[in-house]
A and B are shown apart, each in its own frame.
Chain A
């Protein structure tokens, strides 16, 4: 079974400051890892993914995430937050050894960036 934990329901950060949204995962094999963002009344938009290779992956809107195998983590980061980054962020995992492509999502973390 695969699972994702997002330990924070909400993260508050001031505009211009760095932000981190935490994610840890559990899979029986090696993971594919994803971050999605959801703006109010919208669907999930893909931000970035880790498949293999460099542990630091860069995605849309200046976001990046670092894969840490020993800590089974995939934290989302951005060096300088914008008010427009305020949204709900979901981490997701898929076991690459699974024959299926189903993603398992975390419960989401609300990011609030204050002016």
Chain B
């Protein structure tokens, strides 16, 4: 069964450093998303991406964050200068363009720890 894959599974970084989280969505999907989950809290929407541009973003997704689809397979989330409060599990998700009913398929997440 096709799946969304994310790397790294866990990254530890120093405050102020840049981090790139990588995702390979399901191959025929065209809508891509990043969500995050701070430990013990709810899953929060960050950004959605379609047709090589951001289609929607939340208040969390400030100028420190950026997304990119550098080639035909990868979808990346970059945090320019990490803060302690960026420590969270980051989930990538994708959606089948033929399913307008909004069902998302999630990866297993990348845990980011900022020290």
Residues of A whose CB lies within 8 Å of any CB of B are 32, 34, 36, 41-46, 49, 51, 90, 94, 100-108
Q: Is the interface of B mostly helix, strand, loop or mixed?
A: strand
Known: A32-B102, A100-B55, A102-B33. A43 touches B45 (CB 8 A): no
Asked if A43 and B103 make an inter-chain contact with CB atoms under 8 angstroms apart, the answer reads no
A105–B108 Cα distance when bound, in Å, is 17
Asked if A46 and B103 make an inter-chain contact with CB atoms under 8 angstroms apart, the answer reads yes
A55–B31 Cα distance when bound, in Å, is 28
Asked if B104 and A103 make an inter-chain contact with CB atoms under 8 angstroms apart, the answer reads yes
Residue interface bits B36-72, CB-to-A below 8 A is 1, else 0: 0000011111001000000110000000000000000
The count of residues in chain B whose C-beta lies closer than 8 Å to any C-beta of chain A is 26
Residues of B whose CB lies within 8 Å of any CB of A are 4, 6, 31, 33, 35, 41-45, 48, 55-56, 91, 93, 95, 100-109
